[in-house]
Amino acid sequence: MKQFPAVAILGARQVGKTTLAKQIAASQKKPSLYLDLENPLDVRKLADPYTFLSGHKDKCIIIDEVQTIPSLFAVLRSIIDEDRRNGRFILLGSASPQLVKGVSESLAGRIAYRELSPVSFIELPEKISRDKHWLRGGFPQPLLAKTDKAASEWMSSFVRSYVERDLGFLFGVELTSNIIRRVLSMLSHVNGNVWNAEMMARSLGITAPTVNRYIDFLEGAFLVHRLPAFYANTRKRLVKAPKVYIRDSGLLHQLSDLSNMLSLKGHPVVGSSWEGYIVEQVKQLKPAGTDLYYYRTQAGAECDIVIAKGVHPVACAEIKLNNAPNISKGNYQSIADLKTKKNFVVVPDIAEYKTKEGIVICNIETFLTKYLPKL
In this prediction, residues 6-32 reach a mean pLDDT of 93
Residues 6+ apart with CB under 8 A from 259: 148, 149, 151, 152, 253
Please give the Cα distance from 308 to 336 (Å, whole number): 15
Q: CATH 1.10.10.10 in the chain, residues? A: 119-279
DSSP letter string, 18-78: HHHHHHHHHHSSS-EEEEETTSHHHHHHTTSHHHHHHTTTTSEEEEETGGG-TTHHHHHHH
103 pLDDT above the threshold of 60:
no
CA angle 45, 116, 286 (to 5 degrees): 155
- Beta pairing class for 353-354 and 360-363: antiparallel
pLDDT bucket at 60, cuts 50 / 70 / 90: very high
- CA 123 to each of CA 27, 106, 127, 347: distance values in angstroms, whole numbers, following the listed order: 21, 34, 12, 19
Q: Is the pTM higher than 0.85? A: yes
User: Quick check: 211 pLDDT over 70?
Assistant: yes
* 172 pLDDT tier (thresholds 50, 70, 90): low
- What would the pLDDT profile of 132-146 be if each residue is shown by its tens digit? 999 999 999 999 999
HEC per residue, 308-361: EECCEEEEEEEECCCCCCCCCHHHHHHHHHHCCCEEEEEECCCCCEECCCCCEE
**pLDDT of the residue at 182:** 87
Each residue's pLDDT tens digit, 76-89: 999 999 999 999 99
Q: In CATH, what number does 119-279 get?
A: 1.10.10.10
- What percent of the chain clears pLDDT 90, i.e. is strictly above it? 79
* Average pLDDT rounded to a whole number, residues 250-265: 95
Domain 6-115 class in CATH: alpha beta
* Fold of domain 286-375: Trna Endonuclease; Chain: A, domain 1 (3.40.1350)
Q: Is the pLDDT of residue 106 over 80?
A: no
Q: Which of 25, 138, 105, 9 is nearest to 66 (CA)?
A: 9
Three-state DSSP class for residue 88: coil
- CATH 3.40.1350 domain range(s) in the chain: 286-375
Q: Where in the chain is the domain with CATH 3.40.50.300?
A: 6-115
pLDDT at 175: 67
pLDDT for the residue numbered 35: 97
Structure letter (DSSP) for residue 98: G
Q: What is the mean pLDDT of residues 112-121?
A: 95
pLDDT at 375 over 80: yes
Mean per-residue pLDDT for 314-339?
95
Instruction: Write the burial class of residue 337 (CB in 10 Å: 0-12 exposed, 13-18 middle, 19+ buried).
Output: buried
Alpha-carbon span 150 to 101, nearest angstrom = 36
Average pLDDT over residues 205-222: 91
Whole-number mean pLDDT of the chain? 92
Cα 165-171-175 angle, rounded to 5 deg: 45
**Over residues 55-72, mean pLDDT:** 91
Nearest of 287, 273, 208 to residue 245 by alpha carbon: 273
